[in-house]
């Protein structure tokens, strides 16, 4: 009995896999040589090829994913040394590689950098976010990918609210450093989401065993309390200005007008000071610090 008759499946795989790999190589050669001709149909070709190749892989989809990822790196690197910075095929190629191997974490991680980088990349952080979200869905225990999402929102898109939420979700993944919870709290504070930041810092204080981290949490909570107080005082000062045509010279004047029940003090026990512009400030003797971050207080 021949080897083909004894194990027809193995024989079939032995014949088909080399042909399939050769087909992938030829597909990429054609893409590299005829990008102009393929411009209108390349996206459709590449997007469809991922699920198709996965079906034809006979269980070798992870191997094919690695091969395709290598082609992605070659495609990206090949353009860095030229003036051609048209990366239109990058996102579809990354989609193919990660469809073939959904657990190819490096493809999501570096691929998001290739897509989001404005100089030396595609300049498409929106597509990078889509890629990372796909990676998180396929690898829910990877805090590295989850933190990449926070990075994209924070650095690339300047969306501090989503960045804070992404880092906070990262902090919930087993094995994730506590740093991400602290990042989430600080970014929330900078974006003006004071209550969200306060909630996260309170959780940090209650869960950490590190005395230095506890001390930092207390410091941040005091600063957030003062920041919240100042925002309210600023609003009241604006109301005073609307009613009397001038800003109050002190917080006590607003007390005398019945706008607040008493003179508020910061967490160190010092009364807030009003400037001539109606903006409240901490007493110089107070040790409380407020980190306003990239978003100025209104």
DSSP string, 51-77: HHHHHHSTT-HHHHHHHHHHHHHHHHH
pLDDT of residue 38: 43
Q: Per-residue pLDDT for 96 more than 50? A: yes
The predicted model scores a pTM of: 0.65
pLDDT of residue 66: 82
Averaged pLDDT of the chain: 81
Q: Per-residue pLDDT for 57 more than 60? A: no
Higher pLDDT, 195 or 245: 245
Distance of alpha carbon 270 from the chain centroid: 38
Q: Own/partner pairs for 83-90, CB < 8 Å, 24+ apart? A: 85/120, 87/114, 87/115, 87/121, 87/122, 87/124, 88/39, 88/42, 88/43, 89/31, 89/35, 89/42, 89/43, 89/46, 90/114, 90/115, 90/122
Q: Per-residue pLDDT for 271 more than 90? A: yes
pLDDT of residue 292: 61
Q: Per-residue pLDDT for 86 more than 70? A: yes
Q: How confident is the model at residue 251 (pLDDT cuts 50, 70, 90)?
A: very high
pLDDT of residue 273: 93
Q: What is the pLDDT of residues 200-218, one digit of tens each?
A: 888 888 888 888 888 988 9
Q: What is the pLDDT of residues 124-172, one digit of tens each?
A: 999 999 999 999 999 999 999 999 999 999 889 999 999 999 999 999 9
Instruction: Calculate mean pLDDT across residues 182-195.
Output: 84
Q: Per-residue pLDDT for 102 more than 70? A: yes
Alpha-carbon distance of 292 to 108, in angstroms, equals 33
Share above pLDDT 70 across residues of the chain, in percent, rounded to a whole number: 77
Q: Among 177, 163, 105, which residue's Cα sits nearest to residue 134? A: 105
3-state helix, strand, coil in the chain (%, to 5): 65, 0, 30
- Lookup result for tokens 């209108």: 40
**Among the ranges given (28-32, 114-118, 130-134, 272-276), the one the predictor scored with the smallest mean pLDDT:** 28-32
Q: Own/partner pairs for 230-234, CB < 8 Å, 24+ apart? A: 230/272, 230/279, 230/280, 230/281, 230/282, 230/290, 230/297, 231/194, 231/297, 233/264, 233/272, 233/274, 233/280, 234/278, 234/279, 234/280, 234/297
CA distances from 261 to 82, 251, 290 (A): 69, 11, 24
Higher pLDDT, 75 or 159: 159
């Amino acid at each position: 009995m021949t080897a083909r008759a004894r194990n027809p499946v193995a024989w079939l795989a032995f014949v088909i896999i080399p042909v399939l790999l050769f087909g992938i190589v030829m597909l990429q050669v054609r893409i590299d040589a005829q990008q102009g001709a393929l411009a209108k149909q390349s996206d459709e070709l590449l997007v469809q090829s991922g699920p198709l190749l996965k079906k034809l892989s006979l269980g070798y989809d992870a191997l094919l994913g690695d091969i395709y990822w290598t082609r992605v790196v070659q495609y990206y690197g090949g353009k860095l040394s030229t003036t051609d910075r048209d990366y239109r095929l990058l996102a579809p190629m990354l989609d193919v590689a990660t469809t073939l191997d959904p657990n190819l974490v490096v493809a999501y991680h570096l691929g998001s950098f290739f897509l989001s980088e404005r100089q030396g990349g595609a300049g498409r952080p929106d597509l990078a976010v889509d890629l990372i979200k796909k990676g998180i869905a396929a690898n829910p225990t990877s805090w590295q990918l989850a933190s990449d999402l926070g990075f994209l929102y924070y650095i690339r898109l300047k969306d501090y609210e989503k960045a804070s939420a992404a880092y906070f979700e990262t902090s919930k993944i087993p094995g994730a450093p506590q740093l991400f919870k602290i990042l989430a709290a600080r970014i929330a504070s900078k974006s003006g989401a004071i209550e969200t930041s306060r909630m996260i810092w309170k959780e940090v204080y209650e869960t950490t065993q590190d005395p230095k981290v506890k001390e930092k949490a207390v410091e941040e909570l005091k600063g957030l309390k003062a920041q919240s107080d100042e925002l309210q005082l600023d609003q009241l000062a604006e109301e005073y200005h609307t009613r009397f045509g001038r800003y109050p010279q002190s917080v006590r004047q607003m007390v005398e007008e019945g706008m607040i029940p008493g003179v508020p003090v910061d967490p160190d026990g010092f009364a807030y000071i009003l400037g001539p512009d109606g903006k409240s400030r901490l007493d110089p003797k107070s040790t409380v610090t407020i980190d306003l971050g990239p978003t100025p207080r209104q």
